[in-house]
Amino acid sequence: MCGAAVSEPDTTDTTILTGSAYRDDRHLAARQSLYRWQQPTYDLPGLVLEHLPIRTGTVLDVGCGNGTYVTRLRSQRPGLTVVGLDISPGILATVSAPVVAADAARLPVGDHSATAVLAMHTLYHVDNIDAAVAEAVRVLEPGGIFIASTNAREDKAELDDLWARAAGEVLGVDRGPRRISLSTRFALNDAPQRLRSHFAAVETVELPGTITVHEPEPVIAHLASYRSWAENIGVPFDATLTRARDLLQHMIDRDGRFQITCRGGILLCHTTRHDDKARYDR
């Protein structure tokens, strides 16, 4: 049999983003927690700090979610004014002020008012990505930096295979649709070239790794966090999740582990090719 027809989930739907997917940080935390089993480990807020040598000025964290980066930057760079922005007021409830509910393509700040703008695993949720990047350019000071992050298309391919196999068995076809992959719209494969149309210089910091689990639950919790987009994926979500757990347990019993190959990265984007380094010593 051939695979089942499936519609692509709308990962930019504002109603879903604010009403269920990011109404609070429960689903985001489930996706983040899977990386506890990754090697090598990456301190992503620490990497941002490493590439953000400024000591004073304003940093906008666009799509700040549960405030992971906001909290770390405020703690280690008290001279910075760090503002968290997110389209979902609900997820901002646990983030300390100053925070603003705002659309990434319509930032409520003046021109050239920020020293740095962050968009960490955010741009694939924006309806018009280029408009959001252009907005970041608008609010940046001359010589400012834009730091974004995302995953490659082949990131966590093993989860694609697991989900497609489970969905296929539930639907009675050879192979079901792939799992929901949020980063597809702004994949690491193409993102650098896309950003070069807005910035004078773009550098990619690759962050490869391998997640190894010895029980199904961390993976199942990660997959379950995509429930908000499940209505359009063309499979019975709960039944597929249950079948995925059974398949995963079988593989762990057979092999002693289940491994997932990760390929993510951080993109460092400069408004000018040669920054005024003295400005960073303030």
Which residue is associated with the tokens 């666009």? 62
The listed CATH number (3.30.450.20, 1.20.1510.10, 3.40.50.150, 3.30.565.10) that belongs to domain 14-272: 3.40.50.150
For residue 121, the SS3 value is: coil
Q: Report whether 28 contacts 84 (CB < 8 A).
A: no
Q: Report whether 76 contacts 49 (CB < 8 A).
A: yes
Q: Report whether 53 contacts 280 (CB < 8 A).
A: yes
Compare 224 and 16 and report the one with higher pLDDT.
224
**What is the pTM assigned to this prediction?**
0.90
If you average pLDDT over residues 55-80, what whole number do you get? 96
* Cα of 30 vs its chain's centroid, Å: 13
Q: 273 phi and psi, to 5 degrees?
A: -70, -35
Which residue is associated with the tokens 């989930």? 9
Task: Please report which confidence band the pLDDT of residue 226 belongs to, taking 50, 70 and 90 as the band edges.
Answer: confident
pLDDT tens per residue, range 255-279: 999 999 999 999 999 998 654 444 4
Q: Report whether 248 contacts 223 (CB < 8 A).
A: no
